[in-house]
Structure 1
Amino acid sequence: MSDRSHVSEIEGVLNGRQSCRDPLVAASWSRCVNQYGMDPARREPAHIVTESELRVHRDRIERLISTARSGLSTLYRQIAGQNYVLLLSDAAGVCVDYFGGEEAREPLREAGLYLGSDWSEGLAGTCAVGTCLFTGQSVTVHQDDHFGMEHTALSCTAAPIYDHQGKIAAVLDISLLRSPIAKSSQRLAMNLVEATARRIELANLMDMSRRDWVLRLSRCPEFLDVDPEAAISLDGSGRILGYTHGAEALLRFGADPETLVGRHLDTLTDIGMDDLPDRMRDRPREERIVRLPDGGALFVHAIAPQSVAARSPLPSRAPARTSPLARFAGPEPKMDALINRAERVARTDIPILLLGETGTGKSRLARAIHSISAPKGTFRTLECAGADRASLDAAFEPCAEPVSLFVRGLEDLVEPMQPVLVTKLRANPSVRTITSTRGPLEGCIRPDLLHRLRGVTLEVPPLRERHDFDWLVERLLRYRAAGSRQLTVAARAALASRPWPGNLRELEHVLDTAVALSDGPVIEEIDLPPSEDRSMGRTAEPVEELSALLDACGWNMAEAARRLGVDRSTVKRRAERMGLRAQGREA
């Protein structure tokens, strides 16, 4: 098509003349003139951002670029030898990653099919990347579909990549410098970019949801486990935290245009969180079905959080440890580093300072260190909060065996007793000290005492920062209930989501209470004592409050569950246990 014919067709479309162009293309032409003030007769070269600007754009979506790399490499291998180039553009339209033949580097750069090119519609006119960004839809802009005369030799096909919150994060584009054949020849290109974009969205969701449940979705079972159509991530109460774009079509069926985030699984399907283990990969695909409110069905593949996935009764450490410290933690990088260091210094006479919040297990760690350093020795504890001369004398009584002295809570030692402890330490150099503290000691402990007690510092991480939570829960349950209790998925997720200001000590008390309150071998979420840090701003829902809530919801269990932030089945069981029923209903 000549330049004059191209300009004439654009003017005709703007004047309402019938056109065989894709409606997305015709609408973009209109925006180019009426919204962006562009002239179709004017030739504009490709817009390439500076290197510093490109770094800014790449830094903004560095994580997505890394996640997408594998999919882009696979796609490029599929089209190798066909002269295509791949562009990954950010939400501003700037190309932040690129796959293409170096033999045509300069022509590609001049055409804008290169790293750093800006394909935003308001700058480049009608083009695959810019029009895809504007509409949120996949589109092929073939040759003179392009608004600008500089680009009418190109054939470009693009698909949006949505983030886990339903917003466009990037665009994947596959382009040719020249395509002498019809637009219909790009249908395969469209299928390829859409499939790759879907897989990148899934990979991004999985990367963002390592500590959450993920439910993969497909209308057919054949490719469910390897290439699902969509996926959602869920918190412990069944609320959707994130999703791939395809989940909207599979789950909403014409619902209002609000995001899926925040909706509960049991309002969209016939299952709740406690049903997810029955939909995991070890079950036959034909049995992993969920029903939808309109009567339809989907095949699903549930994937447990990484911290929950390995669910042997007591996961073993790797490598296996035989020292008393082996029972101190499960598979956990921070604890591995702590234990390795503790094992090395335990066999020396160096004083040890244990730093950590209340309840992190400092006393237990001190005893384990003593068991390594002096297994036949005597372990004594000096409680600094109530230390006086008599307790200090008792702590340093002569002993024929090696003595490990655990100085507990050094920050609580009153100032008059500090020089006394210094004197005792000078007179008893053979006593091995292991000291604990909840925080910094400078300013509250005299320097000469601090220097004697702080040889090596071992920092014990709080429970909320550890990744062996399930290992700890299983171990504590084994000792507290002789292995006779198991947590439901919802109960375990509810525990994992707590802030645990009391750390291991608080966890022990919570499990003791849950064991006492549970009716049978299964501990449910309602058996757990309330957390003091609930988003509801209260510690419990007593009978009167739950009854009032159910009345306000017209005894709609799903609505009550949404308001409480729990699963529908949890509300039902709680109401049954409390003996609640709607007025006018028989017991």
Structure 2
Amino acid sequence: MSASWKRCVEVYGMDPTRSDPAHIVTETELREHRMQAEQMIASARSGLQTLFRQVARQNYTVLLTDAKGVCVDFFGDPDFEAELRGAGLFMGARWSEDLAGTNAAGACIVTGEPMTIHQDDHFGNAHTALSCTAAPIFDSMGQLAAVLNISLLQSPMPKSSQNLAMSLVTASARRVEMANLMAQSRREWVLRLSANPEFLDVDPEAAVSLDGSGRVIGFTRAAGKLFGGEGRALLGQRIDSLLDLSVEELPDLMRDRPTEERVVNMPDGGALFGHAIAPQAPRGCGTLARRMRGKAGPMDALAGHDPAMQQLLLQAERLAGTDVPVLLSGETGTGKMRLARAMHVAGGERRELITVECAAQSVDRLIQALGPPGQIRATLVLRRVEEMPADLQVLLTALLEERPGLRLIVTSCVDLGKAMQEGRFHKPLFYRLSGAALMLPPLRKRQDLGWLIDRLLRRRTGGELRLSPAARADLVGRDWPGNLHELERSLDVAVALCDGDVIDLPELPRPAGSDTTIEADDSLEEVLEACGWNMSRAARRLGVNRSTVLRRMRREGLTPPA
């Protein structure tokens, strides 16, 4: 505050005894300022409304000023409009320090730090009745973009009365920065970070946006401070230089895993909890466009609202109408053959579908499957191509050269490029098959597992059976090492054992390799012991919230073993 007073006297040449009225810009000027701040206003609007609801009963006014100090958005009590306008707590008021003297918004613009200017702290007699608390808002490039300010026309005498106001306004400014980053990063990865797993998905403290190579292209101010303090220096840095995390590991931090398991280690030995949000598919493309038109396509049945899967299906759909070879890789049971058949249908042309089980082929069978040499209009799906014997790999290379017009779709459960480099796969065949590569994620990394379970269950029962909350939580919480194959067999068993119209925990087969059976009426302590005292896992087994498990533990006096 004293530094601001010094600037007012020595730099701006102001007289503290003067009582200059509030400066209000013209309507034309206000429109220009609002147009320039349009994106920030949109990002901040919801946060301002929430903040005003919190402080309105204490007669606070909420203002958003741009980086030049002009109020571009405002929430206040309409019964006091004349008083608010006269005090400059209104739309169009200009609070830059060189014009209004020492004030919270103006000081924030100069220093970039939160500020409370209380009563006589103000420079000049015109504002000494006010108490104002403000926090800066930075854009995703580390530049000051706006200031969030809450003010009182009249306030209690002690300055400490504004401590709560400071907490509220700084938290709201942080949330506005987060909302602005999210709005600008719909086509990019966003990594949100929190020191507390309970707040990770609802109110994280910091966030960065990343390009496809894992370089930082946007960040909140808290992230700038977390990773070194000087904001713009963060731009362009690789995420693996800041955290013990690679861009390939981002899907492991998506919302399908419990928050307390999404640990991100820092170079200094500390740890945070991370929530990764995948890029959204462009609007008006692929499956989304068809749904908006009310039409279904062959890809629609393969995924629900999982951004990563929707992006993959969009790429598959675009490739389906070309002759570019496609390699579909992923763990066993991730749906590679389902996608291959969907791509064949999505291609649109009348082609024959030829499927070759590579592990079971002989020379005669392979030649018979591909037909005579010449122009062939067909889709050739090579299933588990890595299991084809070495001599047949050489033969297949030659056969493909004699049969132009084949659209190749290859599935593999291994890294085919690595197998080629290690001499386990025929190099000429690898380069003949290599084109576009699509990696299908395992079920444990998919965000639409609940949708997938419902779809598979409806396919088996026509909607006659449903899952209890406990059974649903159990299925969604499993790792599914066998992916779709394991999930489908588990549902088959549950449907066969179900006596009634609701599938409950007793009807579900235990996960492969599990030697512990948890009955529906087990005590909480038995469930916790079976889950290794992992409260989130126990909550999923019981079909309740983690907070419910914590309350029951306290009530029953249960504590994890030392």
Alignment of 1:174-573 (within 5 A): 174-252=150-228, 258-307=232-281, 317-318=290-291, 321=295, 480-482=409-411, 512-514=433-435
CA distance in 2, matches of 1:36, 1:316: 57
Cα RMSD (Å)? 3.9
CA shift at 1:181, angstroms? 2.8
User: Where does residue 63 of structure 1 map in the other structure?
Assistant: 39
Q: Relative to 1, partners in 2 of residues 1:215 and 1:145: Cα closer, same or farther, differing over 3 Å?
A: same
Q: Secondary structure at the match of 2:58?
A: coil
CA shift at 1:120, angstroms? 0.2
CA distance in 2, matches of 1:220, 1:325: 38
Q: Secondary structure at the match of 1:262?
A: coil
CA shift at 1:482, angstroms? 4.0
User: Where does residue 552 of structure 2 map in the other structure?
Assistant: none
Q: Relative to 1, partners in 2 of residues 1:207 and 1:315: Cα closer, same or farther, differing over 3 Å?
A: closer
- Deviations 1:107-164, CA, capped at 9 Å, x for gaps: 1111100000000000000000000110000000000000011000000000001100
User: Where does residue 50 of structure 1 map in the other structure?
Assistant: 26
User: Where does residue 394 of structure 1 map in the other structure?
Assistant: none
Q: Relative to 1, partners in 2 of residues 1:279 and 1:52: Cα closer, same or farther, differing over 3 Å?
A: same
The counterpart of 1:131, out of the listed 107, 132, 154, is: 107
CA shift at 1:288, angstroms? 1.0
Residue identity (%): 56
CA shift at 1:479, angstroms? 5.9
CA distance in 1, matches of 2:74, 2:65: 9
Paired AA for residue 280 in structure 2? Q
Q: Relative to 1, partners in 2 of residues 1:40 and 1:217: Cα closer, same or farther, differing over 3 Å?
A: same
CA distance in 1, matches of 2:140, 2:173: 13
CA shift at 1:66, angstroms? 1.2
Question: Does the Cα contact within 8 Å between 1:67 and 1:204 map onto a contact in 2?
Answer: yes
Paired AA for residue 69 in structure 1? R
Q: Secondary structure at the match of 2:248?
A: helix
CA distance in 2, matches of 1:42, 1:510: 81
CA shift at 1:250, angstroms? 2.2
Paired AA for residue 122 in structure 1? D
Q: Secondary structure at the match of 2:269?
A: coil
Q: Relative to 1, partners in 2 of residues 1:135 and 1:236: Cα closer, same or farther, differing over 3 Å?
A: same
**Across the two proteins, how many residue pairs are aligned to each other?**
336
Question: Does the Cα contact within 8 Å between 2:142 and 2:232 map onto a contact in 1?
Answer: no
Q: Relative to 1, partners in 2 of residues 1:157 and 1:361: Cα closer, same or farther, differing over 3 Å?
A: same
Paired AA for residue 307 in structure 1? A
Q: Secondary structure at the match of 1:116?
A: coil
Alignment of 1:162-173 (within 5 A): 162-173=138-149
Q: Relative to 1, partners in 2 of residues 1:190 and 1:326: Cα closer, same or farther, differing over 3 Å?
A: closer
The counterpart of 2:65, out of the listed 73, 78, 89, is: 89
Gaps of 5+ in 1: 1-24, 332-358, 376-477, 489-508, 523-587
Paired AA for residue 256 in structure 2? D
Q: Relative to 1, partners in 2 of residues 1:87 and 1:279: Cα closer, same or farther, differing over 3 Å?
A: same
CA distance in 2, matches of 1:260, 1:487: 36
Instruction: State the TM-score, normalized to the length of structure 2.
Output: 0.54
Question: Does the Cα contact within 8 Å between 2:64 and 2:71 map onto a contact in 1?
Answer: yes
User: Where does residue 564 of structure 1 map in the other structure?
Assistant: none
CA distance in 2, matches of 1:202, 1:511: 46
Question: Does the Cα contact within 8 Å between 2:221 and 2:231 map onto a contact in 1?
Answer: no
Q: Secondary structure at the match of 2:177?
A: helix
CA distance in 2, matches of 1:320, 1:485: 38
CA distance in 2, matches of 1:34, 1:324: 72
Question: Does the Cα contact within 8 Å between 1:486 and 1:521 map onto a contact in 2?
Answer: no
Gaps of 5+ in 2: 306-318, 325-344, 351-406, 418-429, 442-562
CA shift at 1:80, angstroms? 2.2
- 1:146 lines up with 2:122 in the alignment: yes
CA shift at 1:100, angstroms? 0.3
Q: Which runs of 4+ in 1 moved over 3 A?
A: 314-317, 319-327, 359-364, 482-488, 509-512
Q: Report which of the two structures shows the higher radius of gyration computed on alpha carbons.
A: 1
CA shift at 1:61, angstroms? 1.0
Paired AA for residue 238 in structure 1? G
Paired AA for residue 513 in structure 1? S
Question: Does the Cα contact within 8 Å between 1:251 and 1:292 map onto a contact in 2?
Answer: no
CA shift at 1:221, angstroms? 1.1
